[in-house]
Chain A
Amino acid sequence: MIGHHPLPGAALSLTDVRKRFGRTDIIRGITLDLVRGERHALIGPNGAGKSTTFGLISGGLAPTSGEIRLNGHRIDGMKPQEIARRGLARSFQVTNIFPRLTVAENLRCAALWPLGVRYSPFRSVGSLGDVRDRVEEMLELIGLAHVRDRPAGLLAYADQRALEIGVTVAGQPSVILLDEPTAGMSHAETDRAIALISRVSEGRTLLIVEHDMGVVFGLADRISVLVYGMVIATGTPAQIRGDRKVRDAYLGEEAL
């Protein structure tokens, strides 16, 4: 999209981002601005490129062309750890925690670098007060204080998903990307997950991929619809509901 200028003060902005695998264009030009503090949902049919988009933003993948800016600074093509250090954190669709570490240790690993600890082989992690405090705070927040010393791999599925979110936000990132946080959950579990997401995204910018339209329309300030690697519409939930292109391409009548 020629002539797009990133919104001044945008937390995250993508300008004409493209990704080609071999001869296949998976992402065919995404332009998107996330206003600081907004909750933005990315929806679209399977294979639209939502997870690829997350990979491009969070550094697992490098875009073929286009620009990605985090708080005004270019991050496209950077390594995941470089992007994470700049305050962008993501969760994964398939739970991606440290299975043999305890719940508290999982959160600790995620809190160390953002609290400035780095690679020290001389200090004791137990003596780092701010790390300890952050871990306690996160345990309370995600409601897993009672299983703090249990290996994460032994938790129930919904608890692992909560820990996945905890690991994502333990470093207090300014921008959070959540990839299908409620996938595979029961109704009650989904409700708890939504409450948790609302809490942890308080005062931060959130980009969420989600298939559950109830979750999307209940949580998001704005929604972008991705179809075949392109954003066909961006707007408030009401605007998206009324958008004819979106109905034709994806949502269908009854889903609304």
Chain B
Amino acid sequence: MTRFLTSAGLLPWLFFLAVLAVVPMIAGSSTAVTVASAAAVNVVFALSYNMLLGRGGMLSFGHAVYFGLGGYAAIYALRAIEAGWLPLPVAALPLVGFAGGLLAGAVLGWPTCRRAGTPFAMLSLGVGELIAAIALMFSGLFGGEEGIAGDRTAGPALFGVTFGQGQEVLILLLGWIFLATLAMWAFTRTPLGQMSLAIRDNPDRVAFVGYDPQRVRHRVFTVAAGFGGLAGGMAAINYEIITPDMLGLGPSGHVLVMTFIGGIGTFYGPIIGAALITTMQSLLPDYTTGWQFYLGALFVLMVMFQPRGVSGLVETVRQAIADGEVRERLPRWIRTVLAAVCLAGGGSIAFEMILRWREAEEPLELAGIPLMADGATGWVLAATLAVAGLALLRLKARRVAGGRLAEEVAR
């Protein structure tokens, strides 16, 4: 593994380690610890999902199956630890989740991976629904709607740590993020990781260089399911309960959204996406009952206008720095950001006014002025912002078109 961490490659890892180390320091309140712990689970889940979507070209609608089954494996192991017949530290439960996810992926992945592209997506959805339905039927095994609970403090204390406090759990989960991320990065450097990119790019040609595309897919799928299960094991420690909901369509779609918003074209994108979306989900409900609308709108707008996700923006800036073009591109970036802020502001004001009026909630207030759906002030403000945003976008478009024309004339 030392080969992966040579000089130039070491810097991002040190940065990553520093970020992970800072998290428990700044997460002072118990709310912050809860949010950070949920994000920790989602980071590993999203990274494992990107092994499929970003690095294998497999659009799965059923990845939560492996997250959930890994979680169940871990929660049963936790109960065995409680019962006293499994000599395993609680901190190692994500490994049980990994094994559970790996096994489930190897078995269920075989029918799923027989086809690529759209049939794969539909098969993953079908298998996901099937397993979710089975989980609800076998309530003895999966605990029915209440799920299966465990007690993470029941195990023998390791170095005096019993995981009674959220802070201890958070540090453990951050440690697992680092290990899992390192392992998933190492995987990208293996022959299987290399061929995973090849089947994403061109599955037909893969067969003509000697590899069986179906087997490449199945093996990549199995490894991704293993890491999904590892995230499930982290969830078992964090929530001390696993329910059939966790392997259903909801979390499967959620991991897709997080991964896509973070950016599927880079290795680190899903880390950003998971951290960002989990934080938004925790903070937004304090401000608006319509918070889900904003997450949905963000996803739709990302797919339409920024399909490379947040990490795509980061890469654009990095490329501009490398090319020494920051100065000439900065005005355009500022205009775009201003336009986005104006449009988002105008849209949010309009949406909030209607929502609060329909649901008879407290009216939206801006600098002490109430904005009501049946008054003019709010609409004027929303319209002004929208027009300003569109004007900025048009200005940008004209400049770009003008620039291109000038280039062509010069040629």
Contact = CB atoms under 8 A, between A and B. Distances in A.
Contacts of B213: 81
Interface string A89-127: 110100011111100010011101110011111111111
A85 interface: yes
B190 A105 contact: no
Given A81-B207, A124-B3, A99 B201 contact: yes
A105 B215 CA distance: 20
Interface stretch (B87-95, B191-199, B380-388, B400-408): B191-199
Contact of A96 (B200, B205, B223): B205
Contacts of B192: 119-121
Interface string B203-215: 0111111111101
Contacts of B186: 124
A79 interface: yes
Contacts of A92: 205
A199 to B, nearest CB: 20
A98 B193 contact: no
Nearest to B195: A109
B311 to A, nearest CB: 15
B212 A81 contact: yes
**Range for the number of chain A residues in contact with chain B:** 35 or more
Find the residue from A98, A101, A126 having the highest chain B CB count within 10 A: A98
Contacts of B198: 98, 101, 109
Contacts of B204: 96
Contacts of B189: 124-126
Q: Main SS of the interface on chain B?
A: helix
Nearest to B202: A98
Contact of A84 (B1, B187, B208, B223): B208
A113 B211 CA distance: 7
Contact of A58 (B208, B211, B223): B208
A100 B191 contact: no
B202 to A, nearest CB: 5
B202 A120 contact: no
Contacts, number: 102
Contacts of A80: 207-208
Interface residues of B, number: 31
A118 B201 CA distance: 19
A99 B202 CA distance: 8
Contacts of A58: 208
A233 B187 CA distance: 53
Nearest to B204: A96
B258 interface: no
Given A122-B190, A123-B191, A90 B208 contact: yes
Contact of B3 (A100, A101, A117, A127): A127
A109 B200 CA distance: 13
A96 B211 CA distance: 15
B4 interface: yes
Contact of A119 (B191, B200, B209): B191
B219 interface: yes
B208 A89 contact: yes
Nearest to B220: A121
B148 interface: no
A125 B191 contact: yes
A126 B193 CA distance: 12
Nearest 10 pairs of A and B residues by beta carbon? A113-B210, A80-B207, A98-B201, A121-B192, A84-B210, A110-B209, A81-B207, A109-B198, A117-B191, A120-B191
Interface of A: 58-59, 79-81, 84-85, 89-90, 92, 96-101, 105, 108-110, 112-114, 117-128, 167, 170-171
10 contacts: A92-B205, A96-B205, A98-B197, A108-B194, A113-B211, A118-B191, A121-B187, A121-B191, A124-B189, A125-B191
